[in-house]
Amino acid sequence: MSSRVLLLVASALGHRMGYRDPVEVRRKVERQQRRPAAFGPPKRLDRHCRVTAHFRHGWPCYEVVPRDGDAQVQVLYLHGGAYIEEVGDNHWNLIEKLATSGAARVVVPVHPLAPRGTASTVVPDLTALAGRLTADGTLPTVFMGDSAGGGLSVTLAQRLRDTGGTPPAELVLISPWLDAVLDNPNIADLQPHDPMLGVEALRYCGSLWAGELDLAHPWVSPVRGSLAGLPRTTVFAGTRDILTADARRFRDLATAEGVDVDFNEAPGQIHVYPLWPTSEAHQARSHLFASLPGPAFSPLAK
């Protein structure tokens, strides 16, 4: 698929496939509460990966490793979906590529969604999981996430820093949602070009995730917390995504704190564009793979 076709599809179906229409987003939440969506990995992963699961926290946590060869890096993957939708096919596609092309051990927590799961109830459990992974030390550990999962990746790194835990080796943020307040004045310049996201709809999702916390709380809006001491961070963003305004803000604030930020902004690309089947996404994934620790990563992985 070309990025032009993807943009046309997103423009036509953005009210359904994205988070632009507040009414449709509310219906998504209601449907998920009434009939939860499937979340498990597709059967095709079994052909090339070994998949296991545990329920230590009362919710599933999957481990995906390559069938052939040893893992060279460990990735904690935190999926997007505005905190209200489950891990989906695009996420599993990337997770499969990380395992098969990248020789990664990928840990995929499927935490409770908002409004049942909120930042104050989920972040502590995810921090405990993240801390066990980084403390193990057998493999370098990367926190990676898209959209809401990108924001969570930063939150977990901040929590480990503040509690004396072992930090991750790197953060990889794909179109990260870093501020649920969404009051960045530069959003207004991006909104007319974004076919998938809208401020009002996202703010509603953010309020469900925040629960009793304020939207500006660092567990909900990590760009408002301290960015000092974060590990090397790779960011992917597109110019047709309102969240890019706060991704740029993160870049500037983190760089000022001495964080090494590899910031990749793709002209004309929509929200979480590296997860879509386009040539621009392939280029982004190649850069992503090449940036990670572990010699087995192949920049040619498709």
Give the pLDDT of residue 302: 41
Between 17-26, 165-174, 175-184, the lowest mean confidence (pLDDT) is in 17-26
Structure-model confidence comparison of residues 235 and 17, the more confident one: 235
| Distance, CA of 83 to CA of 286 (rounded, Å) | 27
| Distance, CA of 169 to CA of 261 (rounded, Å) | 13
The whole-number average pLDDT for the span 138-151 is 97
The full set of domain ranges for the chain reads 3-291
Rg (CA), the chain: 18
Secondary structure of residue 261 in the 3-state scheme: strand
Active site residue 147: yes
Question: Is the whole-model pTM more than 0.75?
Answer: yes
Active site residue 179: no
Q: Is the pLDDT of residue 237 over 60?
A: yes
Give just the sign of the alpha carbon dihedral 61, 67, 71, 75. Answer: negative
Catalytic residue among 101, 147, 153, 286: 147
User: Which CATH number describes the domain made up of 3-291?
Assistant: 3.40.50.1820
Quote the DSSP letter at residue 67: S
Q: What is the chain's mean pLDDT, rounded?
A: 93
| Distance, CA of 247 to CA of 253 (rounded, Å) | 10
Catalytic residue among 194, 221, 271, 286: 271
Catalytic residue among 146, 179, 194, 241: 241
Give the pLDDT of residue 14: 62
pLDDT category at 57 given cuts 50, 70, 90 is: confident
Q: Is the pLDDT of residue 244 over 90?
A: yes
